[in-house]
Amino acid sequence: MKKFFRLLIILLLAANAVMLVFTYQSTDKRKKAEEAFFAQNTEYEQLNETLKSETNKLEALSRSSTEKNTPSDEKFEKNLESTGVSVCIDPGHGITSQSGKEPVSPGSGETKAAHVSGTAGEEEFNLSVALKLRSILEKSGITVDMTRTEHECDKSNIDRANQGNDSNYCIRIHADGSENSAASGISVLIPEKSYFGDDSFVRDSSILGQYILDSSVKNTGAKNKGLVTRSDLTGFNWSKVPVVLIECGFLTNPEERALLLTDEYQEKLAQGIADGFLKFVKEL
């Protein structure tokens, strides 16, 4: 019996030892697995750090190249101011209760209506094209003055000419009208002579007029009605700076009127006028 108990105790001890070895081995395996996991985790974190720093470098590079290609608004604004050229845009006509007369030219006894209402729909059309033209020219670094930005305007033709004289050039925006509903196309009017003795006035008005006519016709596909010299326009006769008047098309021609009243066609006109003016300015 004693032998049996001794054997049992030995067997139990042996079993215990085996259990201990197994437990030790499995703990050891777990530890190793944990260590491997932590090592991998550290490696992963290091990779992640490297990735982050590379991403930051890439972002910095991308920012610096963007800054080089597109200057900040402030820098851009400064570039735009650099041409030093100014233009007065005069959207013809305006809603007014004024109805006086004024001398057609300096020193003349002949008078003409100081305010004329223009062709039906012309006042709104002129203003719309003029505002589009202003936007394009300002983006190109030209300083733009407007005789009006509202439909209501009490300024006479002499008032407009005097305001235009404060800029380097003056562009008058109009639309044509005719009893012949088939009449269509663009013409540009230029002054015949200067009342202020400046030789370059007629020459520059003529060159500017030709450029604006060519580019407007090219940009719209409208009929070219040519350059027209006028001596009877108060707005021209009181001008001291080169001045042109574009008749953008006939509001009395149903087909052309439909075109003239679209935003798309007005943009083409404004771009055409701007192209001609900017070509002129570049050649100065």
- The site for Zn ion (CB under 5 A) is made up of 92, 118, 174
Residue closer to Zn ion, measured from CB, 93 or 132? 93
The C-alpha atoms of residue 26 and residue 37 are separated, in whole angstroms, by 16
The distance of closest approach from Cβ of residue 68 to Zn ion in the complex, given in angstroms and rounded to an integer, is 47
Q: CB nearer to Zn ion: give 168 or 234.
A: 234
Least Å from the CB of residue 183 to Zn ion: 15
What SS3 state is found at 185?
coil
Least distance to Zn ion, CB of residue 98, Å: 16
Quick one: angle between helices 122-139 and 263-282, nearest 10? 50
Q: How far apart are alpha carbons 167 and 143 in whole angstroms?
A: 9
**Minimum CB distance to Zn ion, residue 198 (Å):** 26
- The residue whose Cβ lies closest to Zn ion is 174
> What are the CB-based long-range contacts (under 8 Å, 24+) for 223-227?
223/184, 223/185, 223/186, 224/185, 224/186, 225/185, 225/186, 225/187, 226/187, 226/188, 227/187, 227/188, 227/189, 227/190
By beta-carbon proximity to Zn ion, the closer residue of 168 and 266 is 266
CA-based max dimension of the chain = 154
Give the number of residues written for the chain.
284
Those residues with Cβ within 8 angstroms of residue 112's Cβ, 6 or more apart along the chain or in another chain? 101, 102, 104, 157, 232, 234
Q: How far is the CB of 172 from Zn ion (least distance, A)?
A: 8
Residue closer to Zn ion, measured from CB, 115 or 132: 115
Of 137 and 248, CB closest to Zn ion: 248
Which of 233, 281 has the CB closer to Zn ion? 233
Secondary structure letter of residue 152 according to DSSP: B
220 and 265 in contact (C-beta within 8 Å)?
A: yes
What is the nearest approach in angstroms of Zn ion to the Cβ of residue 245? 8
